[in-house]
Structure 1
Amino acid sequence: MFFEQRQAGFSQRAPALAVGVLLFTLAPVKLPAETPTIKSILPLAAAPGKTTEVVIEGQRLAGVTGLWTTFESKISIVEAGKREESRLRLRIDIPEKTPVGIGAIRAAGPGGLSNLELFLIDDLPASTPGAKNTSAENAAAIEPPCAIDSRTTTDHRDYYSFRARAGQRLSFEVMAQRIGSRLDPILRILDSAGREVAFSDDSAGADSRLAWRCEQEGEYLIELRDVIYRGGDGFTYRLRAGDFPLVSAPYPMRAEQEKSTKISIAGPDCAGVESRNVQLPGGSSGRAFSLGARFPGGASSSFVTLLSSDLPELLEKEPNNRAESAGTLQPPCAINGRFANGGDRDFYQIAGKKGTRLVIRGETRHSGSPTDLYLRLEKPGGGKIAEAEDRSYDPGKDKEKGKNYYFEEGVLNYTFPEDGRVILMVEDLIRRGGPEHVYRIEVRHGQGDFSLELEETLYSSAPGGDLKVKVRCRRNGYDGPIELVAEGLPGGTKPGKARIGKGKDSAELKITLEKDLQPGSMGTFRIFGTPADGGRARRIEARTREALRKTFPRLFHPPRILDGLAAFAVTEAKK
């Protein structure tokens, strides 16, 4: 199940895949032109096909006129007398077919758009417990399937009680750091005597999750705390309890655009989730789609993120765990594989002519797989040529010119010195394996490459003004000029032209807002770059990963649905 999102805020239907913005309207009164700030949202999720009442707390909320969202929605304001600066009550209606997943919200007004706040789409019924469930004796009673939105208290544990039948399978999951919380959760299941029967820590990034089968009918406790007993503002969580599968990534990890692809689900506990055929639209390469997953007859869902691809997406064919039985790859292509057991290795062979350059790029943890991928390029018959694994670096401190990503999975660059072939060996760095350990490796002929990054995810200007978008370039063998264009803009805007000059690492692209646009209007866009030497046709989308890392410093892998997306607001002119 996928969703196409709509862009509004201007009275014009957006192209497919534009992230949604839906504007609610108020009576024509003068509102303060101050930029709103979101501090918290409760509940932490809205349910598909239902109306969810949401309370936003923050600053300068009295002038809010709309919401920017990454999901299709209908928003209405709940007014009870005078608008408050620190509190805003809204109703959110989401179409029934919207899949569960992580989205985001911004509050909008004449003063601009607020900070970005992550927000879930969840099909579990939710509630908020009282503040006194910090002992086993005062545990808050729950009845799965359900979700609880709360926050931890310093030096305390939170307790929830539930009843389970013998043989019943239940899943428990803490959504915390994945939605921007400071909480590093530990999750335990205790029996009526206080004995631990299940435990989880750092099983979904820093978050906790587990699947548990009850051996004896009775009352049980959930114990939830921060790893070092922190709590208070910023330590929010959503505790999910139900029959949902534990999932990590789709398999294959990307689907070729415009082609029907059979997608299965990889994860530590998802056997029985049915595969399905999906077809992603043309022109969507690199974009992220949320895919819900549940067991047949189940009452609750999990989700994975599926990316669109411009390459043939191949699946490994066993046996390929020895160089002598290596599968053949013909670039350009992507190979998707799985380390089924601990110690599993996969081998591939690639042929090339003298002078042909290969760029080999791994993908795992960016897209949900727990695999720490290791790549090794060998000569036929043995002998290392090159190796690579993931690495991280601080863009503010890295001295290498043009570096602008915080985290990079393994990349190999190789030029054939003569006609022949090479062997590519791949494995998990610490030799792990299992149903969730999937990977994707992209192999292209390299004629020089580059990547682009936007400095910000949010821009603003008064009517008649310019949005000034700085685009940075990281070069990898391509030193020529790069033409920049903005796409996905609504009516009332006029994108200019920009070029990153030969050997340069940045340029500024201007987008002009028409004079008759109303303050409080908003929209989205993406930036694409194309080599300007006439010999290369491949377009590269500018990413926003570094900017998102600044916004969510505890998220090593920000949600892919946000990567590359920029928002803008029309603000009142400064007097």
Structure 2
Amino acid sequence: MKRIVFTLTLIGLAWNVAAVDPRLSYLRPDGLQPGTEQEIYFRTTRAEDVEDILFYHPGVKVVKINEADDNGFKAIIKAEADCPLGEHKVRLRTRGGLSELRTFYVGPFPTLREVAPKEGEGPQKVALNTTISGAVANESVDRFAVDVKQGQRISVEVECIRLGRYFDDASVAIKNSKGFIVARSDDTPLFIQDCFATTLAKEDDTYTVELRESSYGQLRAYRMHIGTFPRPTAVYPAGGQEGEEVDMKFIDKAAGDFTQKFKAAKPVSFQATFGQQSQPNFRDIAAFPQADGVIAPSGNKVRVSPFPNVLEEEPNNSVGEARLSDTPLPVAFNGIIGEPGDQDWFRFTAKKGQRFDVRVYARKLRSPIDSVIYICNKDGRSLASNDDSGGPDSYVSWTVPADGEYTLRVRDHLNNGGSDYTYRVEFQPREAKLSLYVPDTARYNTQTRKNVVVARGNRFPLILQARRTSFGGELALGPQDFPPGITMHAAHMASNKTQLTAVFEAAADAPIGGGLGNITGKLVGENSADISGGIWQNFDLVQNGNRGVYYKTWVDKIGVAVVEELPFKIRIEEPKAPLVRAGTLPIKVVAERKEGFNGQINVRMLTRPSGLSCTSSINIPAGKNEITYVFNGNSAAEILEHKFAFLGTATVDGATAYVSTQLSPLEIKDYFMVGKITPATTTQGYPTELKVDLTTRTEFPGEATVELVGLPTGTTSTKLQVTKGTESITFPISVEPNARVGLHRTVYCKLSMDHSGHQVTQIL
């Protein structure tokens, strides 16, 4: 027995690996109140050695992390008194990796846990201005009772799908003591698939709030706010100029509209003003309504930009009623399609040659309008128009054809309208913009390999993709705010490319640690404009297969960590020969294993230049140490020096570990030789010759072998030797008496050679 224990101990000492690939399933409760500390349970897998909790936004910090077990751990989290309300993002850092990104909410009210009623008990009694954290069982309804005075507002908000965990559809109703419904809600434009209900109490009464799944299924997690807070459906104008104070009208259908000042703070990062259709909830800028000292848990989305507001002036339902704006472009036109059939017209001046991205901000700000815009001449004749362009909000790229007056027409696609059909149309000068992101590594999965997790003495690859607007040129990429000990290797991204592979390498003595950093891109070259950008990454938190994404969030940072060493590495034996058009090049990948690790390692090619093909992945079998990848270049392969790397994946202690080879150069060149075969004719039993004229395109050392491939049945030939100076060769063809008769078009030449230790081939 002692001998067995001793042997196992020796094997264990060969490599010491922390639990890789930690997972974070959820937090409970899903939020807390500013100025308070909250014990939160983190449901995890493989996170027993958690060292840090990473928050993406300021105002939240860790007070204490309690000891973890196989299922999770509890931590004391503090929200500062000035902590921003709304969604916050979080992930865990362990000694073995980074978890998925999850979300939680900071709300204005104390949090109360739902208590399942005992048989015969009535609804759970709660005070106004309380947040309840709970779940609804299948075919069940959660009920809560609140005492409300006559004339007092009672509002209910639900965060369910916005928690980013489950595809659950909540429905809420408010009933008086007689059982009559006074307000109800299912889906809302303001909160996507989450709901809210609000009303004024007609008498002193005990009201019951009922929450259920819309089809009486289960709600696996929710946060419900019950209180006297205002719950407007929209805000007008729908945005403001950065740094300016705006009088905003909150449109409240229950208690009446009210006005509140909003300071349009300058966005904290460039992404906030990027405004592409593909980025709907950029940086979560919101105006939080407040009444009688009570603030709403959720704000109304607003747009902050560098442009001054121009507000509609009624009547403006026709081109003749459109009033000329005295504010020169660029501006932001704001209005409300106030009733069905309404349309708004604006008049403005512009100068020839001005170029604008004309963007509508409506659905992105949770307005119900499905906009259609028309840019017209001064008499109302349409010059450009758009309904949807990558989303329900309209977009037009417009160049002013001549100096003069022009008009803008806005309407709803179905001619609907209402008091909360707000919109904002920005005339944005065309300018260069840049951001970076990590593309998805699997279908319906926006979490895997979206961080930089590098084991000590090892490497990790990342595919980086650039979003460019209105500029070209090479980009230099680099790390920002990375922990010590990590080096980033990446080529410049060429002007005609949008994607490349970067490799991150950790020193063997790099400190275990990490945090949230950035990867930046900058235009380089002589006389280059000052164009730069960083990470702007989406996370699709709730999706339903090919039916689409129901809730997503965005971040402007990337998780970075140095972790404990892994029991394997992989490397490329760097090619010394080029890959040529119509050629092949073998690439050897070698595994370096720690003693005791013999598992299979999957090796996968990441990014390929145009014209290069290869097997998507190859396994290094258990106990083996190398495989050979074969690169194939087609006849139109892009001639360049490409930087490539392979991803290595293996199971370590039941979880997936990732490593990378070094970033290796690969020269792609023109053909070694091109050949032209002179047609030949013969009869059965009579030999002939086949002449091939050769032209050297890429010089090569020594001799190469050329052979005929595809000869008809009954004919044979020999292999011939050529050098870079050979101009023609003639193959002797032996023809048997029973050789197949006919016109044979399948004959071609194959060149092969030993080039710098590589067995390369090419089709002539």
Identity of aligned residues (%): 21
User: 2:515 maps to which residue?
Assistant: 522
Q: What is the distance in 1 between the residues matched to 2:406 and 2:240?
A: 27
Q: How many pairs does the alignment contain?
A: 520
Code of the aligned partner of 1:338:
I
Change (3 A) 1:411 1:527: farther
User: 1:398 maps to which residue?
Assistant: none
Deviations 1:415-469 (A, max 9, x none): 4455555422122333444554332222234478777543264332224666644
User: 2:173 maps to which residue?
Assistant: 188
Code of the aligned partner of 1:442:
E
More deviation in 196-205 or 507-516? 507-516
State the 1:127 CA deviation.
1.3
> Higher RCO, 1 or 2 (CA under 8 Å, sep at least 6)?
1
Change (3 A) 1:106 1:222: same
Change (3 A) 1:109 1:308: farther
Deviations 1:156-208 (A, max 9, x none): 22222222222221110111112213221111122333222211111221111
Contact 1:170 1:213 in 2 (8 A): yes
Residue 205 (structure 2) pairs with residue 218 (structure 1): yes
State the 1:261 CA deviation.
3.1
State the 1:525 CA deviation.
1.7
SS state of the match for residue 275, structure 1? strand
User: 1:57 maps to which residue?
Assistant: 43
Residue 40 (structure 2) pairs with residue 46 (structure 1): no
- TM-score with structure 2 length normalisation? 0.61
Change (3 A) 1:126 1:496: same
User: 2:463 maps to which residue?
Assistant: 470
Q: What is the distance in 2 between the residues matched to 1:209 and 1:334?
A: 30
Contact 1:266 1:438 in 2 (8 A): no
Q: What is the distance in 1 between the residues matched to 2:520 and 2:367?
A: 28
- TM-score with structure 1 length normalisation? 0.79
Q: What is the distance in 1 between the residues matched to 2:525 and 2:413?
A: 39
User: 1:459 maps to which residue?
Assistant: 452
SS state of the match for residue 258, structure 2? coil
Aligned-residue RMSD, C-alpha: 3.5
Deviations 1:400-427 (A, max 9, x none): xxxxxxx473211234455555422122
Change (3 A) 1:187 1:62: same
SS state of the match for residue 549, structure 1? strand
Unpaired runs of at least 5, structure 1: 1-29, 393-406
Code of the aligned partner of 2:184:
F
More deviation in 448-457 or 114-123? 448-457
User: 1:108 maps to which residue?
Assistant: 93
SS state of the match for residue 567, structure 1? strand
More deviation in 295-304 or 212-221? 295-304
- Which of 395, 398, 411 aligns to 1:411? It is 395
More deviation in 172-181 or 124-133? 124-133
User: 1:156 maps to which residue?
Assistant: 140
Code of the aligned partner of 2:198:
A
Change (3 A) 1:360 1:290: closer
Q: What is the distance in 1 between the residues matched to 2:490 and 2:317?
A: 50
User: 2:290 maps to which residue?
Assistant: 294
User: 1:573 maps to which residue?
Assistant: 565
SS state of the match for residue 552, structure 2? coil
Contact 2:231 2:289 in 1 (8 A): no
Contact 1:273 1:293 in 2 (8 A): no
Q: What is the distance in 2 between the residues matched to 1:449 and 1:98?
A: 30
Change (3 A) 1:566 1:291: farther
Deviations 1:268-289 (A, max 9, x none): 4573353143543676561544
Q: What is the distance in 1 between the residues matched to 2:462 and 2:215?
A: 41
Q: What is the distance in 2 between the residues matched to 1:291 and 1:410?
A: 23
User: 2:681 maps to which residue?
Assistant: none
User: 1:558 maps to which residue?
Assistant: 552
User: 1:372 maps to which residue?
Assistant: 370
State the 1:103 CA deviation.
0.8
- Matched ranges for 1:173-252 at <5 A: 173-180=157-164, 181-203=166-188, 204-231=191-218, 235-247=220-232, 252=237
User: 1:11 maps to which residue?
Assistant: none
Q: What is the distance in 2 between the residues matched to 1:193 and 1:521?
A: 58
User: 1:144 maps to which residue?
Assistant: 128
User: 1:549 maps to which residue?
Assistant: 540
- Which of 306, 316, 327 aligns to 2:311? It is 316
SS state of the match for residue 540, structure 2? helix
SS state of the match for residue 40, structure 2? strand
User: 1:172 maps to which residue?
Assistant: 156
More deviation in 365-374 or 510-519? 510-519
Deviations 1:320-341 (A, max 9, x none): 4432324446444433433344
User: 2:656 maps to which residue?
Assistant: none
State the 1:362 CA deviation.
1.5
Deviations 1:135-158 (A, max 9, x none): 996422222111111112112222
State the 1:209 CA deviation.
0.3
Unpaired runs of at least 5, structure 2: 1-15, 273-282, 441-449, 568-764
Change (3 A) 1:281 1:442: closer
Q: What is the distance in 2 between the residues matched to 1:157 and 1:497?
A: 55
- Matched ranges for 1:268-283 at <5 A: 268=252, 271-272=257-258, 274-280=260-266
Greater fraction of residues in strand: 2
Contact 1:145 1:299 in 2 (8 A): no
Change (3 A) 1:158 1:327: farther
